[in-house]
Chains A and B, each alone.
Chain A
Amino acid sequence: GQQVMQIPQYQHVQEGEDFTTYCNSSTTLSNIQWYKQRPGGHPVFLIQLVKSGEVKKQKRLTFQFGEAKKNSSLHITATQTTDVGTYFCVSYQKVTFGTGTKLQVIP
């Protein structure tokens, strides 16, 4: 069945450093969505990627969808303490969530 692996599970960075999380699928994805969940909060939609090789930017966040549509990445430039939380990718073909990457930013 479809699996979406997300790495790393945890990441601690100094404020100002960059951060990247990756989602890898065993099968081709029709689309992928990214969500952020703050500690004690609920997931909040960030972006949806649909096209092969697609790159989208939101301020300091850059999202990519692989050429083969089997992987995706989220890159945060110059992290801030407000970036703290868990970042999930999700494929809605089989509604499979990545395991999430928990980001901790050290001020």
Chain B
Amino acid sequence: GESVGLHLPTLSVQEGDNSIINCAYSNSASDYFIWYKQESGKGPQFIIDIRSNMDKRQGQRVTVLLNKTVKHLSLQIAATQPGDSAVYFCAVISGGYNKLIFGAGTRLAVHP
């Protein structure tokens, strides 16, 4: 079955630096990937998505990179701000009916 994992459980960065959060997946047939941000006590918030026919997609201060060869995707946050502090999850569509498989999550801590 599908498994999704993250390389680092916790990432500490200085305010203003760029952050990179990594994610690995196991199913080479996965074709849709989403990054979510979850603040403490809240539901996950959609950040950005990417399909397998792309290798890069940019949003506002965020970029997602997809490397299908090694089944790896990353989320880059430019000029990280204190409000970016949260847990970030990658999620992969698996099977029918839009069933999402979530990674373990990476906690991003932004220090002033």
Q: Do A and B come from one complex?
A: no
Interface residues of A, Cβ cutoff 8 Å to B: none
